[in-house]
């Protein structure tokens, strides 16, 4: 669906994206994360046909973005990180204006706009976008990206700066779009959201793609797994003591099995047994520091 082959982007002597290879399958949600200036937004703009690569090729839906950009954009929706609205318009007027740029028949556009406003919980038809909250403005910008019912969505920080409830709503809305068959590439600084929603994750540092895989594969390669036994004993023991209970932690399966046997044989009370895997945030920080 989206394929980047040896993509490099330079501005004068500065390399922003460095020999990047990436392949996204149809129907996937893929997250790209990295530090500020890592090359995420530039990569997204190149896929959307807004910035030309210095070298390499980009194909979207089987077409070369540099040769058939107009055809690709008819089926591609792009949401930039900063997306100001025409604040003297209502959401409906704003979207209707953009529908004309897509040459959508007016009645079809009105029906589509009503559907989008309803699905995004934007019911204030008479309120000007200049009076909208930040969350409402972001929802309106998302509606604009979806107006022509694209097959591919490129979303740069779709929930940037939003309150937790609105952010949660947008993440769930992206799940709905995936069920409708959309292919979604997004960037985000909220790594919990990326970890939760994305089929695969790419980590970029200084223009280079360090990792691109499923979260399970990334954890297996770069993360760690920790087991924890919480138990109670009235005896004074040489274990970590938290909240009236003792805690034993280990990364070894054999050690956890041995500890469970000890708890049982000693007559202690087992309170909890749990397993914790590295979060994406931990893996990301480690890569940024070590690589």
Domains and CATH numbers, the chain: 2-213 (3.40.50.300), 224-278 (no CATH)
DSSP bridge partners of 230: 247, 272
pLDDT for 291: 60
Whether the per-residue pLDDT at 290 is higher than 80: the answer is no
Overall average pLDDT of the 260-266 stretch? 94
Overall average pLDDT of the 88-104 stretch? 93
Reference 154, options 24, 15, 252, 18; nearest CA is 24
Whether the per-residue pLDDT at 78 is higher than 90: the answer is yes
Model confidence at 289, pLDDT cuts 50, 70, 90, reads confident
Inter-residue long-range contacts of 274-277, CB under 8 Å, 24+ positions, other chains counted? 274/227, 274/228, 274/230, 275/225, 275/226, 275/227, 275/228, 276/225, 276/226, 276/227, 276/228, 277/219, 277/223, 277/224, 277/225, 277/226
Overall average pLDDT of the 221-233 stretch? 92
Overall average pLDDT of the 93-112 stretch? 94
pLDDT for 124: 77
User: What pTM does this model have?
Assistant: 0.84
Overall average pLDDT of the 34-38 stretch? 91
DSSP assignments along 115-180, one per residue = HHHHHTT---SSSBGGGS-HHHHHHHHHHHHHTT--SEEEEESTTTT--HHHHHHHHHHHHHHHHT
Whether the per-residue pLDDT at 116 is higher than 90: the answer is yes
Model confidence at 286, pLDDT cuts 50, 70, 90, reads confident
Q: For 167-185, what is each residue's pLDDT tens digit?
A: 899 999 999 999 999 999 9
Overall average pLDDT of the 247-266 stretch? 92
């Amino acid at each position: 669906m989206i394929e980047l082959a040896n993509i490099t982007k330079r501005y004068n002597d500065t390399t922003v994206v460095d020999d990047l290879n990436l392949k996204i399958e149809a129907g996937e949600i893929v997250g790209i994360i990295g530090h500020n200036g890592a090359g995420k937004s530039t990569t997204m703009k190149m896929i959307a046909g807004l910035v030309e690569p210095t070298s390499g090729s980009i194909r979207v839906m089987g077409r070369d973005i540099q040769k058939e950009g107009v055809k690709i954009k008819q089926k591609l929706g792009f949401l930039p990180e900063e997306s100001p609205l025409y604040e003297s318009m209502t959401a409906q007027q704003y979207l209707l204006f953009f529908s004309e740029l897509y040459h959508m028949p007016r009645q079809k556009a009105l029906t589509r706009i009503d559907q989008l406003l309803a699905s995004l919980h934007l019911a204030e038809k008479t309120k000007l976008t200049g009076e909208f909250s930040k969350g409402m403005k972001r929802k309106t910008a998302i509606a604009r990206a979806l107006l022509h019912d694209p097959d591919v969505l490129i979303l740069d920080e779709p929930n940037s700066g939003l309150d937790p409830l609105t952010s949660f709503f947008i993440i769930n809305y992206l799940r709905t779009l995936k069920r409708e068959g959309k292919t979604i590439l997004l960037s985000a600084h909220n790594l919990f959201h990326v970890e939760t929603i994305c089929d695969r994750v790419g980590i970029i540092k200084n223009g280079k793609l360090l990792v691109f895989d499923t979260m399970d594969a990334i954890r297996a390669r770069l993360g760690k797994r920790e087991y924890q036994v919480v138990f109670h004993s009235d005896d004074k023991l040489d274990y970590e003591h938290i909240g009236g209970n003792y805690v034993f932690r280990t990364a070894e399966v054999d050690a956890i099995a041995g500890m469970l046997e000890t708890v049982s044989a000693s007559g202690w009370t087992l309170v909890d047994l749990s397993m914790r895997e590295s979060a994406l945030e931990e893996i990301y920080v480690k890569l940024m520091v070590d690589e």
